Structure 1
């Protein structure tokens, strides 16, 4: 009965209503919030670039990013790469930071030149290592590393402002005008809705398979060192935040209630609250591993609920592969 009601609601309202709501209630405020938080982080670094002084504004910026950080469409398809270079199984971020500091590379004094530095040495994960890894974080106020922190935060703020502007001034209009004769990106309103729906499922899959799957590794060989943002203790925080964001996104895209999705999200929070180490460092303990696996299953439950409460209405059967780009 729920699915028939949802289908009736969708038929009674323009498909672009969901696109407009997703943009206005979730996507555009998300990028604006990230730009604001990144600017605040850069301003804080200008006043005091030491690691302890930047911890709180760094977390605020990362929290803001998590609201839209898994969106990979339009300007974010490539624009996100230098903001979040992860996974980094080969340690390119560490190598890039070590090289810059050892050479006292003057590239940090030139904003345009720094924009050409390897993406492994830029963005939130370069800051995560510089500010929270004890091999880097003890730098002095007047040191090269302190100036590097200032450049990294200024570069992040510039990237955030650019993404915010590209979405607000350009790509949002492409989504809103889906089906218009001059729109070569989305040939119908339904294509735009389906593209946004795909982003929601892709985010949940990434959280389940990478944010949790990477540190879980295998039963014989867990890999806690591969947890996302483990140095700053954000691994669990990011997994939950990304799931919260996916549900917020889904609720904005739908114009009907999603009670099963909300109930599934509650179970995610219950499972997360039982995990003791926010960086998954103890994942080699069987009991702790089980808790992370339970969280993984609960996130799968959110995905299943969204498939049933939104996907079926869109004509997409459960099991739809969000990586297909449909």
Structure 2
């Protein structure tokens, strides 16, 4: 089933209405559609090679809203994007399911109760790209597991979209009767602004910072989605998403932010290994460090062009919350 974006009709809040109705809700709807395509492909044929395209398209769709950890997404995003997985829970949980041929894969409602480490895009990445898991055929237990995973992604996307339709009015009508989440317009604006800065900080400090490690000891296998070669894609898409949300929230031109984003894209073109597995080489490492600096410049531009205009000081700390 394809779900259209629902426009929430409530008293408008400057910038917040555009951020919700023109950015967040439409991208959630697009993600649901891409998840449907992935699941349809998996139900037709579960073999890994044929699912690579739909998987990447669905993951691309998710990245447009993956870093909006607000309202229902605060918890709902975790089981779609369980990363960083610092203790290897995904590998162990999937291995246990397969070795025990756990019948939970036959019951979709029960599957939703398993560990979040074995759900979402990073569990699917293991099943499609990791040689430990992707050597399966139609009729194997692993095939049924893949189909359970893709169906679960659709169910999560659909649920998250519905939950956002219920949550959005709180952002759009702050201070209304019964709305104790956002007491005034400034709180609603700050809540979304927080997500923008947090996304950019997470990208430069975690998506890029974790694999960079230390100069004498790079950690390439700590890169996000390196098995599927998406590490660079993740960072660029996350930055583009943050800028897209900033432009919606601002509802005015952001030339410095847009120029900084263009610089991120240009720098990304210089990186020869999109999985960051070559950053032990100091010159290759430098390319990623420069990308990190370019993303920092995007954050600085957003602070000046959006934060200052809304009266949020450049020293505002996004980790402080809404």
Q: TM-score range by the shorter chain?
A: over 0.9
Does 2:206 align with 1:227? no
Q: What are the ranges of 5 or more consecutive residues in structure 1 without an aligned counterpart?
A: 1-13
Instruction: Work out whether 1:107 is the aligned partner of 2:104.
Output: yes
Counterpart-to-counterpart distance in 2, 1:15 and 1:291 = 43
Q: Give the deviation of 1:182 after TM superposition.
A: 2.2
**Between Structure 1 and Structure 2, how many residues are aligned?**
312
Give the Cα–Cα distance (whole angstroms) in 2 for the partners of residues 45 and 255 of structure 1. 40
> 2:256 matched to 1:263?
no
CA distance in 1, matches of 2:318, 2:54: 34
CA deviations over 1:208-254 (Å, ceiling 9, x no partner): 00100010011121100010011110000010000001001000000
Deviation at 1:41, TM superposition (A): 0.8
Give the counterpart of 1:65 among 54, 62, 67: 62
The answer to whether the Cα contact below 8 Å between 1:15 and 1:189 also exists between their aligned partners in 2 is no
Aligned pair partner of 2:164 in 149, 162, 167: 167
Paired residues of 2:12 and 2:173 also in contact (CA < 8 A): no
CA shift at 1:135, angstroms?
1.3
TM normalised by structure 1 equals 0.94
Matched, 1:319 2:299: no
SS at match of 2:159: helix
Q: Please give the secondary structure, in 1, of the residue aligned with 2:215.
A: coil
1:37 is the counterpart of 2:34? yes
Q: Equivalents in 2 of 1:111, 1:274: separation in Å?
A: 43
Instruction: Determine if the alignment matches structure 1 residue 140 to structure 2 residue 171.
Output: no
* Counterpart residue number, 1:74: 71
Task: Give the superposed CA RMSD.
Answer: 1.0
Offset of residue 319 of structure 1: 2.7
Aligned counterpart in structure 1 of residue 295 of structure 2, from 292, 299, 308? 299
Write the distance in 2 (CA, Å) between the matches of 1:90 and 1:182.
42
Q: Report the equivalent of 2:3.
A: none
Equivalence for 2:184? 188
Q: Which runs of 4+ in 1 moved over 4 A?
A: none
Match among 89, 92, 95 for residue 89 of structure 2: 92
Instruction: Name the TM-score, length of structure 2 as normaliser.
Output: 0.95
Distance in structure 1 (CA, Å) of the matches to 2:46 and 2:14: 45
Q: What SS does structure 1 have at the residue aligned with 2:272?
A: coil
Q: In the alignment, what sits opposite 1:209?
A: 205
Question: Would you tell me which structure has more helix in proportion to its own residues?
Answer: 1
Residue segments in structure 2 that go unaligned for 5+ positions in a row = 1-10
1:16 alignment counterpart: 13
CA-to-partner distance for each residue in 1:54-94, whole Å, 9 max, x for gaps? 11100010000000000111000001111010001211100
Instruction: Find the aligned partners of 2:106 and 2:139 in 1 and give their Cα distance.
Output: 14
Residue 9 of structure 1 aligns with which residue?
none
Query: Which whole-Å CA distance do the structure 2 matches of 1:249 and 1:125 have between them?
Result: 25
